[in-house]
Amino acid sequence: MKTLDRLKFEMFERVDRFGRDYSASLASHTYVVGLFTVVAGSATDMGSRAAAQVSEVGSARGTTETKSSARNQLQEHVERMNRIARAISISIPGVLDQFRMPSSDSDQALLAAARAFATNAVPLQAEFTKRGLPTTFVADLQQAIDAFAATIDERNSSLESQVAATADLEEPLEAGMKGVRELRSIIPTIFHDDPGALAAWSTASHVERHSPRKPPAPPTPAPSDASGPKAE
C-alpha cells in the first residue's frame, strides 16, 4: 500500500471510531450514520485487500528468488557447453559457432541460446562427453531450461496478481474518501456547539500528508566580551 493510501486508510479507521464514539448524538441523523457506515466498510475492505496485497508482494519476492536460482543453474550449463565447444572447435572447426553465448543478458536470450545448444548438441554428444561432460548433459540442460521457463511464468503470474491486488484498493479508497468529504461539511454543523467533538473530528478526519518539520534551532548567541571596556 502506498504511503498516502495507508494514511487515508488510518484516517478511515479514526473516522469510524469517531462515529462509534458519538453514535448517540448521531443516531437521529440517518443519512449521516449511513456515511459513517460507508467509511467503516471502506476501512474493513481496505484492511483485507491490503493483507492480500502484502501476501502477493511476498509471493512475488519468493518467485524472484526462485527464478534467480534457476537462471544461475541454466547459465552454468550454457557456459560449460560453450567452453567445451571451444575445445571441440580446435579439432572440428565451426562447432563453436553453434554454441555462442547470447549477446544479450535478457532471460529470453538465455532461453533461446540454451534451446539452440540442446538441439545442436545432439549429433555431437560423443565429442562433448569425451571432453568431460556427463552422458546426461543434454537431458540435464533440457531440465534446466524447463525449470527456468517455469519460474518465468510463475514470476509473471505473481506480478500480475500483485498489480491486481493493488488495483483492488482503489474501489474502497474512493468510496471512503467520498463519504469523508461529505462528513467534513456535515459534522461541523451537527456539533457546532460542542468544541470537544469538533476537536475530535478535526483530528479524526485529518490526513497527514507530510512529516512535520522540526522547528528551527534557536540561533547561538554571540559570545559576550567579558574583558569589559579597555582602560584609556
- Residue pair 63/169 in contact (Cβ under 8 Å)? The answer is no
Residue 59 has what pLDDT?
58
Among 90, 192, 178, 72, smallest CA distance to 131 is for 90
CA distances from 100 to 91, 95, 145 (A): 17, 9, 17
For 41, counting Cβ atoms within 10 Å of its Cβ (0-12 exposed, 13-18 middle, 19+ buried), the class is middle
For residue 20, count other CB atoms closer than 10 A to its CB.
Answer: 11
What is residue 212's three-state secondary structure? coil
**Cα 146 vs. chain centroid, distance in angstroms?**
27
Mean pLDDT per 10-residue interval, the chain, length 232 residues: 81 94 95 95 83 60 79 96 96 95 92 96 96 96 94 76 64 91 95 95 84 53 51 45
Residue 6 has what pLDDT?
83
Cell of 52: 492480500
Residue 211 has what pLDDT?
47
What spatial distance separates the first Cα and last Cα of the chain, rounded to whole Å?
Answer: 75
CA distance 177 to 42: 9
Interior angle at CA 111, CA 108 and CA 113, nearest 5: 110
- Sketch the domain layout of the chain as residue ranges: 3-204
Residue 2 has what pLDDT?
76
For 211, counting Cβ atoms within 10 Å of its Cβ (0-12 exposed, 13-18 middle, 19+ buried), the class is exposed
Instruction: Please report the sign of the dihedral spanned by the C-alpha atoms of residue 193, residue 189, residue 38, residue 44.
Output: negative
Residue 232 has what pLDDT?
43
**Residue tagged 534467480 (cell numbers):** 68
pTM over 0.75: no
